[in-house]
Amino acid sequence: MTFLGGLLLYAGLLVAAAGVASLLKPIRFLGIRTRRRVALVLALAFALFTAGVYLPCPATRVAAVRSHLDEFQPVYQFGEVHSVLIHAPAARVWTAMHEVTPDEITFFRTLMWLRFFHAPDPRRPILEGFVRGSFLLLTDDPPRELVFGKTGDGRHRSASTAAEFQAFPSPQIRIAVNFRLREIGAARCLLTTETRVYAAGAEQLHGFAAYWRMIYPGSSLIRRMWLRAIRSRAEAATPQSM
């Protein structure tokens, strides 16, 4: 539903832009020659955008706990998963994961600014910026899995410990993100990052659905580039250190 919802939202915005532009000067090659046509175009834009917001957001529940992420976020409506195969030992990958900076990822700071209106320090490790910023470190289990997350109840309250995160009463939004490392042989690993979001209540659910479906293309790109930067740093180790 994420792809379809995002497609409808962006289509609605494009159609709305065409309608607004036609109020200033009719776009004749699109057949928008009269104000009545403009009204129809704007109505179509509203319908497309509304459909993108209100597409169903079914909840997913993990069948069995297999990771720390499963422990903290077993139920969610929104999620994304990305993986990369890295030819390096687990310890080296784990270290690289903690050391990668925004400067190692093309357009990372630009994409983050577009999403949060704030660009991270180019020399500060990306992961450090998350777990020492607005996110809470939930699990640090080297070199297997790292989990961080955040909660919000609409009253500027959030969990301050891992135990509070799990017990947080009726959070409006709860986000959990992990990096999970699985060894495949002596010097090869599969690194996976997964994001899960749970939104409670119809208003919060549909509001977050609109946000998630709009930012998903950029969010997905950021995560894929982040994994590639970790791979590049880990595989850059000298043969003696590997």
Region of residue 201 (left: phi > 0; alpha: psi -120 to 50; beta: else): left
Quick one: average pLDDT of 111-125? 65
- Look at residue 136 in the predicted model and tell me its pLDDT: 92
A 10 A CB-CB count for 65 gives: 10
Over residues 213-242, mean pLDDT: 83
Cα–Cα distance, 95 to 203 (Å, whole number): 41
Question: What percent of the chain shows pLDDT beyond 70?
Answer: 86
Cβ pair 83, 64 in contact under 8 A? no
Distance CA 149, CA 213 (A): 20
Q: What is the mean pLDDT of residues 167-171?
A: 69
The pLDDT-based confidence of 191 (bands split at 50, 70, 90) is very high
Backbone φ and ψ of 230, nearest 5°: -65, -45
List of residues 6+ apart from 38 with CB closer than 8 A: 19, 22, 23, 32
CA atoms within 13 A on the CB side of 176: 25
Average pLDDT of the segment spanning 23-40 = 79
Instruction: Please provide the size of the chain in residues.
Output: 242
- Please state, for a pLDDT cut of 90, what percent of the chain lies above it: 52
Count other C-beta atoms under 10 Å from residue 193's C-beta.
21
Higher pLDDT, 109 or 49: 49
Phi and psi, residue 199, nearest 5°: -120, 125
List the structure tokens of 165.
């995160």
Mean pLDDT of the chain: 86
Q: What's residue 175's pLDDT?
A: 93
Q: Which class is 60-235 in CATH?
A: alpha beta
What is the DSSP secondary structure assignment for residue 28, as one 8-state letter?
Answer: G
pLDDT at 64: 95
**pLDDT at residue 221 greater than cutoff 80:** yes
Among 24-33, 110-119, 189-198, 213-222, the range of highest mean pLDDT: 189-198
DSSP E strand boundaries for 77-210: 78-86, 136-141, 145-152, 173-183, 189-199
Confidence of residue 44 (pLDDT cuts 50, 70, 90): very high
pLDDT at 129 over 90: no
Residue 240: pLDDT above 50? no
- The residues spanned by each domain of the chain are 2-54, 60-235
The predicted structure's pLDDT at residue 23: 80
Alpha carbons 179 and 58: distance in angstroms, whole number: 24
Examine the pLDDT at 110 and tell me if it is beyond 90.
no
